[in-house]
Chains A and B, each alone.
Chain A
């Protein structure tokens, strides 16, 4: 089966996010009452796996081994069929 997964990566809450801090400063100038900004990224992958369980294992490995650094980042996966 062919799957498409969107993997969202974000810095952990206790790790500083310099890009978020810069955006916070910029949004502050718009006067919209923004008090906190956290940034992240999303990676969309298309891949083949036998079934949904195998696809979940695959995306978990992608996240742990490369797409996120568990020391500083968390990730979550949205899985769908292509």
Chain B
């Protein structure tokens, strides 16, 4: 049975169709939900795509956080539903307090559109099954991707193993040169303590086909489909 995945859409979201297409490649059913009409009952996972929700005014993701969609997303996540936020979606998850820390203006103040490599630090999430220590090559496109947290929060993030993706070189080593935007400790993405909420600055949906320059993003979506299959009550008792 193919999983049903909700894709949230705010004013200014721009990657919802890319996710829709990429998820079709792994035979997931998708539905794009306008942010005022989000009901996640019956869905197996929810995606918060990239873009410039509300024009990034106040701070990237700050206004989207006040949308009714976020209350529903928090309910869904509290019940263990898998949630993935990419780029602006990651910023929204941090603003909403669903992930720790925050994303500020890139250290060099430039918008960056490029390919990066990230090392996957943990396979205990629905989006990284079987990917521990894998080095994924994915595109980024953002002006506010510099991850920050105060020293106490950062220590807790590291101690609790919440860093899921770290910018690295070809071998996955987190060098200064590999960090495109000044993120502290090369942090490119996080998971929550329960592991079901994941956010990252790179765009897995934009590297799901060879024609787009890479397929590493597809691995994360394949992981989602596999993990939903594992946790579906319909599968219990079947061989």
Residues of A within 8 A of B (CB): 11-12, 14-16, 18-19, 21-22, 65-67, 69, 71-72
Contacts of B107 in A (CB 8 A): 16, 18, 21
How many residue pairs link A and B with beta carbons under 8 A? The number is 45
| A72 with B102, Cβ < 8 A, contacts A66-B66, A67-B58 known | yes
Contacts of A12 in B (CB 8 A): 150
A14/B58 in contact, CB under 8 A: no
- The answer, yes or no, to whether B146 is at the interface (CB within 8 Å) is yes
Contacts of B150 in A (CB 8 A): 12, 14-15, 71-72
Partner of B58 from A18, A66, A72 at Cβ < 8 Å: A66
- Give bound CA distance, A18 to B107, whole Å: 5
B94/A16 in contact, CB under 8 A: no
Chain B's nearest CB lies how many Å from the CB of A13?
9
- Give bound CA distance, A67 to B153, whole Å: 21
**8 pairs across A/B with beta carbons < 8 Å?**
A15-B148, A16-B104, A18-B108, A19-B105, A71-B94, A71-B100, A71-B101, A72-B104
Which residue in chain A gives the minimum CB-CB distance to B105?
A18
A18/B182 in contact, CB under 8 A: yes
- Give bound CA distance, A47 to B62, whole Å: 21
- Give bound CA distance, A28 to B59, whole Å: 28
Contacts of B151 in A (CB 8 A): 14
A66/B62 in contact, CB under 8 A: yes
